[in-house]
Structure 1
Amino acid sequence: MLAKKTKLLGDLAERITVGYVGSMASEYVDKGIPFLRSLNIRPFFFDPSNLKYVTSKFHNKIKKSTLRPGDVAVVRTGSPGASCVIPDFLEEANCSDLVIIRCGEKLNPHFVSYYINSVTHSQIKGQLVGAIQKHFNIGSAKEIAFPDIDKPTQSKIAAVLSTFDAKIDCNNRINAELEAMAKTLYDYWFVQFEFPDASRKPYRSSSGKMVYNTTLKREIPGGWTDSNILAVADLFGGGTPTKKNTEYWNGDIPFFTPTDADGTIFKFSTADFITEEGLKGSSTKLFGKHTVFITARGSVGRLVLAGVDMAMNQSCYALRAKPGISQTFLFFLAKELIHHLQVKSSGSVFNSIVSNDIELTKLAIPTEDVIERFAAVVEPVFEKIANNTKENQQLAQLRDWLLPMLMNGQVTVV
């Protein structure tokens, strides 16, 4: 239940416009003005990964799509309706494929972003336009029914909700540090070959036996082999139940797609869910906890560990660790695989992964005892990451439940 009185967002905002529309392939430079795309806008936060840049000349040429700190950016395609507030450190920026809301005197930008993300999801879905790829446009934004609440009250509500986001952000930063520590250890052990030897000394530096491998064209520790990732995992494809059968959808089984790969290691929920009938009526399978998903199309090369049993569409591959192989080792080995594929595709577009890419890429495969020792150190770290991720999901659900309660007066802010 929302506030009884509403106004159109277009009547309240100072300005609603859209990001640059046109080809960008030749405009990107290594350094310059930050240029945001839809993948940089996550619900409630700005994601700087894969950020592009343009020249000041091009930026000045497309002033209409300029972003300022405090603007609300809303994704038009892909995950339409996802929004965040442009942070203060982005003093000058531009964008494409985003709806830009300049809030002005009547709106608190954080409240607008909370509202769009948490409450208007169904409204936005009802206003998507476009026959081939659904997208959210300026007209859709202007027509959003927005609660008629004064700005001071908006600011108080936003301040309450921001405490949830502060804790979520803290957990995300902890997870990023824990992942970086685990990745550093993996590189030290399995790339530099400095895993502890029998005397607990770094193997390579302590004159551990190294053997030249003709396939990999480099030295690897004695006893290690060259093989593909399928030496330690089984590979599976996915599938999608037909949308024409409504009995296949909106069930209890999480259905993983590339859009669910949002940068977190673990995934406990997905945007879409299917039923048991949908699982049986399609080529997808139920993949168990700790399965490694690789996005093969769309956002190519992203990795996610299933936190619960879930199905998967045909735009991904699933790797299930073989008995005795740790999912933490498999996760980082898969990262190494993706790195090799990216290096191999240098100079061409890395826009898909096929099974041959996985099967034909040779890697240095260690002995099982080294994998076991690595798992003993890293699995507790991954368990902490998983717990933080679950807590974030609970905090987000509580935040989204609380917002309409605050707006309709059932909960008041002192």
Structure 2
Amino acid sequence: MKFNESKFNKHWQDKNLSELGKFQRGKSKHRPRNDQVLFENGIYPLVQTGDIKEANLYIQQHKEAYNEIGLSQSKLWKKNTLCITIAANIAETALLAYPMCFPDSVVGFNAYPHESSELFMHYVFTYIKKSIQNSATGSIQDNINIDYLTQLKFKIPNKVYQDKIASILSSLDNKIELNNRINSELENLAKTIYDYWFVQFDFPDENSKPYKSSGGKMVYNQELKREIPAGWEVKILANIADITMGQSPAGSSYNEEKKGEIFFQGSTDFGWRFPIVRQYTNEPNRMAKKGDILLSVRAPVGTLNIADNDCCIGRGLAAIRSKYEFNSYLFYVMKYFKTIFDHLDNSGTTFGSITKDDLFNLKLVYPNEEHLKKYDLMISKYNQIILNNQKQNQQLTQLRDWLLPMLMNGQITIK
């Protein structure tokens, strides 16, 4: 079976994908794979199947790194290697933005320069991803192997034409990548300002100098056992936010046909900043409003997103909305709590979920209204840019996905 055969590309060559480049399985020989001896003071980037799934075109960052011991039982792959997942999130692909290691649940592809490119092959696999996933569904553990990949057949145009196809599609993906980087920088800036103002208490005083560092009055708070700025209060989250705990509707009410209310179950539905709509329900129970902060209350506890529409939320989520229209401030309050949750996880404390009572009673230092308004006014401008970029990315993604099959089956001709 040739996945892209059509009346428009009869003049293209029939090829096994193995004729276009070399497929090699990743390496991770040591067991257990999470043994800390592999990671202490690590400098060699390691990516997993989840990192590949999260990437758009290039894998731009890594969460873990091997040391020399870790590298000795693995392999460092060169920049631009195409990563293909063969277990868990199967048939997901992305290219390495810099040299990285990956485990044997990932296959690396390096093109023969005169036959193809890693970039073109990324779009080949994007085109056939659903077919591969469907063929693997139903096994004891959904997966594929390297022999399966090498024997796949495809109608392949000449190298020059491949490059034209890849150029058109990657121009859209590169713009998506740029928007994502801008959004990430804006979010990092907003978080930095939050930390500077509301954690270190160096918000601008009346002379535009950092408050605490310039000798601003601090008072000892017995409840928190620390000093806070004079005039600020200690509150619990329920004092400043309306909180709705998710409750899943009946299982039979779910559908993927865009009927009823959008339904989000947990952080697996999260994209960047706005969730990815996968399911709907005809029997909504607990609802979140557009603009509400969505918080994962199950592992990974504290993962955040923002509802882009009114939606139904399941047990894995809570919806949080400021009582005083300071949602930008509240978002970064929850980002701050996420760092605390992560610390508990990393310290070995069992923290697989957060209860309603614990969530409602999270304690925070609450600023005076003047600084809340200043922060929210500034950050709301960043949020608008992020929203505009995200909407543009949705349009670019739709255009790319519309063009992809027609370019791959020759229905659209490139001059």
Query: In the alignment, what sits opposite 1:401?
Result: 402
Aligned residue number for residue 63 of structure 2: 51
Q: Which moved more, 1:225-234 or 1:166-175?
A: 225-234
- 2:236 and 2:362 in contact (8 A); partners too: yes
Distance 1:225 1:50, change over 3 A: farther
- Distance 1:306-1:162 versus aligned 2 partners, 3 A rule: same
Q: Could you say which residue in structure 2 is the equivalent of 1:115?
A: 124
Alignment of 1:80-229 (within 5 A): 80-87=90-97, 89-90=98-99, 93-104=101-112, 106-117=115-126, 119-129=127-137, 134-138=142-146, 141-142=149-150, 144-197=152-205, 201-205=209-213, 207-229=215-237
Say if 2:274 and 2:306, in contact at 8 Å, map to a contact too: yes
Measured in 2, the distance between the counterparts of 1:31 and 1:23 equals 17
Give the gaps of 5 or more residues in structure 2: none
CA distance in structure 2 between the partners assigned to 1:78 and 1:239 by the alignment: 27
Distance 1:16 1:61, change over 3 A: closer
Q: Which residue of 1 aligns with 2:336?
A: 336
Paired residue total: 399
Distance 1:247 1:334, change over 3 A: closer
Amino acid of the residue matched to residue 17 of structure 2? L
In the aligned structure 1, how far is the partner of 2:341 from the partner of 2:253?
38
Contact 1:326 1:375 in 2 (8 A): yes
Percent pairwise identity: 30
Aligned match of 1:73 in 83, 89, 101? 83
Letter in 2 for 1:82: E
Deviation by residue 1:321-368 (Cα, 9 ceiling, x = unmatched): 22x232111110001111122334442167623125434532212233
Assess, with a 3 A threshold, how the Cα gap between structure 1 residues 312 and 79 changes in structure 2: closer, same or farther.
Answer: farther
Aligned residues of 1:164 and 1:395 also touching (Cα < 8 A): yes
CA distance in 1, matches of 2:347, 2:22: 44
How many angstroms apart in 1 are the aligned matches of 2:140 and 2:219?
54
State the alpha-carbon separation in 2 of the partners of residues 76 and 228 from structure 1: 46
TM-score by length of structure 2 reads 0.84
Please list every run of 5 or more consecutive structure 1 residues that lacks an aligned counterpart in the other structure: none
Question: 1:133, 1:351 → 2: CA distance?
Answer: 27
TM-score, length basis structure 1: 0.84
What amino acid maps onto 1:127 in structure 2? S
Measured after TM superposition, the shift of residue 61 of structure 1 is: 3.1
User: 1:303–1:335: 8 Å Cα contact kept in structure 2?
Assistant: yes
Q: Which amino acid aligns with 1:183?
A: K
Query: How big is the alpha-carbon RMSD for the aligned residues of Structure 1 and Structure 2?
Result: 3.0
Contact 2:55–2:94 (Cα < 8 Å) also in 1: yes
Deviation at 1:300? Answer: 4.1
What do the CA deviations read for 1:356-384 (whole angstroms, capped 9, x no partner)?
54345322122334222211111011111
Distance 1:378 1:327, change over 3 A: same
The match for 1:318 is 319
Tell me if the contact between 1:123 and 1:144 (Cα under 8 Å) persists in the aligned partners.
no
Which deviates the most, 162-171 or 302-311?
302-311
User: How far, CA to CA, are the matches of 2:299 and 2:306 in structure 1?
Assistant: 18
